[in-house]
Amino acid sequence: MEHTTQLVPLNWYLLLSTFLFCLGVMGVLIRRNAIIILMCIELMLNSVNMLLVAFSSYSGNSDGQVFVFFIMVVAAAEVAVGLALLVSIYRNLGSTDIDLLNKLKW
Amino acid sequence: MNTLIYTAGLGMVCLAMEILDLRKLLVPVILLGLAVIFGVNLMSWADSGPVIFAGLDMSSMLLVDHFSVAFNGVLIVAAAFLFAMSHDFYKDEQHHLSDYLTIIVFILCGAMVLTSYSNLVMMFLGIEIVSISLYILAGSRRHDLRSNEAGMKYFLMGSFASAVLLFGITLLYGASGSFKLTEIASYAATYGMDSPMFLVGSLLVVCAFLFKVAAVPFHFWSPDVYEGSPSLVTTLMATLVKVSFFAAFYRLMSSGFAGIDPHTSTILVIVAAATMIVGNLVALKQINFKRLLAYSGIAHAGYMLLAILSLKTNSASALLFYGATYILATIGAFAVALPVFSSTGKETIDAFDGLGRKKPFIAGMLTLSMLSLAGIPPLAGFLGKYYIFSEAIHNGYVAITLLAVITSIIGVYYYFKVILAMYTKAGEDTEIQFPMLYSIVGIICVALSILLGLWPGGLMGLL
């Protein structure tokens, strides 16, 4: 029996997630607001999740789908830490613009 | 495997002691626990083999072999030094003590996963356990803007690198159909060169590792983060974490990619050359001691990349030896620097002015650590460089080894800047408080550096 995921060729999944990943990379590089950067990193992680599910569904091997849960858990932990750091910066600076973080440079 | 379980258990014990209000006993209990874990680790040297846990064969996840046991031993010793120093370093922050120490115990867990994984899932988890804990520690001085900045910069760039790593792992999985290192290795041996997906995936994973070990051009985070973090956390990042990432990188290259393919080796040669040059040259101009050691760490990462390039039987022990000597010298240097920083309130090199006259013994410890980092015989740092360089020459990397020798000679200059500040400059009259534990850690590190320099066989013969 064919999965519904397999109605779309694998290459399209690959292209779509590469596109989303690059979008995330661009966002991280261009945007200056720490919250938007966090969202862009989430976009990168989720594009990887989609690709993993597609690969795992096509190869009939469930390891990839289990790994997706690991990624979700780790991403949640990462965001929790990131937001905590952001809150303490906001309390000190009153802003979430990362260009204001310029105390350390050579 | 038992080593890892006991370490995680030690972390739980630390949390429980916070609840029971036993903070005063925390450091002794952790040191005792680490001694036990070190013994457990030694015992697993003999019966390394398939890992059985609760009746299930876990060998496809974690593999206990001589490589992992030896690296775990080094990491446990490094962690013990850090905990011994934390007692005085966190004296004014007693109510947060257990938080900090527990996080460092869990970093040790992550580092152990990194030395013994046999599956890319475990590799990812190990990297994330170490990194996420470090984001917290780097930003742990909440009211200090510099610490905030260090934490945020490390967090943003670190999670970006994690995403790149994940994309690489996914492509490797898509190409080879498995996360297991053995299956990836057999895929790499048969189709590796012809599959663009596999090549791109391995390139992305290598880039993420180069970021984590702070190799040029992915090093920009490291000086800022080292400078802004609390000094003990800087020590942790520069020693334990860096060496565990190198162990993981070596494991990936040797058992995951079944040796190094020509594309990767070209990239690694260029990166290693750039790392040595940039690390050593930029370090010449630094006036902040932590920043100086950050660039020195970048330069040392360049030398350790040579061991990863070589990938022959002896290069694992050369990497182990180099990692151990680097850890000893860096912790020895920070064991002197931490109390000097807190007494003078400065973190620049001129904080050490006149230390040679005020505290000749302590200045001597810092001098020996600096000489070991610079690679002057008879200290262990010299032999570490010697083994790595001779491995690289045996495997045909002559030009890059020549560059490594030249840059390490340049490096001697900035290590001597610290030594000269201690002996030739007159300092202010601030009294330098030097707690007992710091000097014990410093003495042990320097003594081990000298011992390993005279009898390297103890570590070199292990792998």
Judge contact between B164 and B208, C-beta under 8 A.
Answer: yes
**Chain A within 8 Å of B179 (Cβ-Cβ)?**
yes
C-alpha span between B265 and B259 (Å, rounded): 10
Least CA distance to B144: which residue of chain A? A92
Q: Phi/psi of residue B14, each to 5°?
A: -60, -45
Structure tokens at B358: 């005020």
Cβ distance of B177 and A59 shorter than 8 Å:
yes
| Interface of chain A toward chain B, CB-CB under 8 angstroms | 14, 21, 24-25, 28, 34, 37, 41, 44-45, 47-48, 51-52, 55-56, 59, 61, 63-64, 67, 70-71, 74, 77-78, 81-82, 84-86, 88-89, 92-93, 98, 101-106
Cβ distance of A59 and B228 shorter than 8 Å:
no
Cβ distance of A61 and B227 shorter than 8 Å:
no
Q: Phi/psi of residue B352, each to 5°?
A: -90, 0
DSSP structure string for B12-38 = HHHHHHHHTT-GGGHHHHHHHHHHHHH
Q: Which CATH number fits domain A32-101: 3.90.550.10, 2.102.10.10, 3.40.1160.10, 1.10.287.3510?
A: 1.10.287.3510
CA distance to partner chain B, nearest, from residue A48 (Å): 6
Name chain B contacts of A25, Cβ cutoff 8 Å: 160
Structural domain boundaries of chain A?
A: 32-101
The long-range contacts involving B258-265, CB below 8 angstroms and separated by at least 24 positions, are B258/B185, B258/B186, B258/B188, B258/B189, B258/B192, B259/B311, B260/B308, B260/B309, B260/B311, B261/B188, B261/B192, B261/B193, B261/B199, B261/B202, B263/B199, B263/B203, B264/B202, B264/B203, B264/B206, B265/B309
**Chain A within 8 Å of B357 (Cβ-Cβ)?**
no
User: Phi/psi zone of residue B258: left (φ > 0), alpha (ψ -120 to 50 degrees), beta?
Assistant: left
Q: Is the dihedral of CA B372, B138, B132, B208 positive or negative?
A: negative
**Chain A within 8 Å of B347 (Cβ-Cβ)?**
no
Predicted complex ipTM:
0.95
Confidence of residue A18 (pLDDT cuts 50, 70, 90): very high
C-alpha span between B33 and B22 (Å, rounded): 15
Among B151, B162, B167, beta carbon nearest to A85 = B151
C-alpha span between A56 and A10 (Å, rounded): 11
Structure tokens at A56: 């795992």
Structure tokens at B46: 């003999």
Q: How confident is the model at residue B450, as a pLDDT?
A: 94
**Chain A within 8 Å of B152 (Cβ-Cβ)?**
yes
pLDDT digits 0-9 by tens, A58-88? 988 889 999 999 999 999 999 999 999 999 9
Structure tokens at B83: 């905990």
Name chain A contacts of B117, Cβ cutoff 8 Å: none
Q: Please give the helix or strand (H or E) that residue B265 lies within, else none.
A: helix B262-283
Structure tokens at A1: 């029996």
What's B119's DSSP letter?
A: B
Taking the model in full, what pTM does it have?
Answer: 0.95
Q: Phi/psi of residue B258, each to 5°?
A: 50, 60
Among B164, B178, B224, beta carbon nearest to A104 = B224
**Chain A within 8 Å of B220 (Cβ-Cβ)?**
no
Structure tokens at B206: 């290598």
Task: Walk along chain B (463 residues) and give the pLDDT tens digit of each residue.
Answer: 789 999 999 999 999 998 998 888 999 999 999 999 999 999 988 876 677 777 777 888 888 889 999 999 999 999 999 999 999 999 888 888 999 999 999 999 999 999 999 999 999 999 999 999 999 999 999 888 999 999 999 999 999 999 999 999 999 999 999 999 999 999 988 887 788 999 999 999 999 999 999 998 999 999 999 999 999 999 999 999 999 999 999 999 998 887 777 888 899 999 999 999 999 999 999 999 999 999 999 999 999 999 998 887 788 999 999 999 999 999 999 999 999 999 888 899 988 988 888 889 999 999 999 999 999 988 999 999 999 999 999 988 999 999 999 999 999 999 999 999 999 988 777 788 889 999 999 999 999 999 999 998 888 878 7
Give residue B419's Cα distance to chain centre: 24
Judge contact between B199 and B275, C-beta under 8 A.
Answer: no
Q: How confident is the model at residue B48, as a pLDDT?
A: 66
Judge contact between B282 and A106, C-beta under 8 A.
Answer: yes
Cβ distance of A88 and B146 shorter than 8 Å:
no
Q: How confident is the model at residue B49, as a pLDDT?
A: 67
Verify cis geometry, omega within 30 degrees of 0, for the bond prior to B262. no
Name chain A contacts of B179, Cβ cutoff 8 Å: 63, 67
C-alpha span between B357 and A57 (Å, rounded): 70
CA distance to partner chain B, nearest, from residue A1 (Å): 21
Burial class (CB in 10 A: 0-12, 13-18, 19+), B52: exposed
Among A14, A47, A81, beta carbon nearest to B136 = A81
CA distance to partner chain A, nearest, from residue B151 (Å): 7
Q: How many CB pairs (< 8 A) connect A and B?
A: 117
Q: How confident is the model at residue B379, as a pLDDT?
A: 92
CA distance to partner chain B, nearest, from residue A18 (Å): 9
Least CA distance to A103: which residue of chain B? B146
Q: Phi/psi of residue B444, each to 5°?
A: -60, -45
Place of tokens 């002197």: B336
Q: How confident is the model at residue A1, as a pLDDT?
A: 46
Judge contact between B52 and B58, C-beta under 8 A.
Answer: yes
Cβ-proximal residues to B97 (8 Å cutoff; 6+ apart), any chain: B23, B26, B86, B90
What is the end-to-end Cα distance of chain A in Å, rounded?
61
Name chain B contacts of A11, Cβ cutoff 8 Å: none
Structural domain boundaries of chain B?
A: 2-460
Name chain B contacts of A93, Cβ cutoff 8 Å: 145
Indicate if the pLDDT at residue A103 is higher than 50. yes
Burial class (CB in 10 A: 0-12, 13-18, 19+), A105: exposed
Cβ distance of B156 and A34 shorter than 8 Å:
yes
**Chain A within 8 Å of B211 (Cβ-Cβ)?**
no
Indicate if the pLDDT at residue A3 is higher than 50. yes
Place of tokens 């391995």: B202
Give residue B307's Cα distance to chain centre: 15
Question: Which of B149, B220, B229, B234 best probes binding to A when mutated, by most A CB atoms within 10 angstroms?
Answer: B149
Cβ distance of A44 and B167 shorter than 8 Å:
yes
Structure tokens at A22: 């690059």
DSSP structure string for chain A = ---GGGGS-HHHHHHHHHHHHHHHHHHHHH--BHHHHHHHHHHHHHHHHHHHHHHHHHHT-THHHHHHHHHHHHHHHHHHHHHHHHHHHHHHHS--BGGG--S---
Least CA distance to A55: which residue of chain B? B174
User: Phi/psi zone of residue B354: left (φ > 0), alpha (ψ -120 to 50 degrees), beta?
Assistant: left
Q: Which residues pair with B180 in a beta bridge?
A: B119
C-alpha span between B458 and B344 (Å, rounded): 39
Tell me the one-letter amino acid at B310: S
Cβ distance of B159 and A82 shorter than 8 Å:
yes
The length of chain A is 106
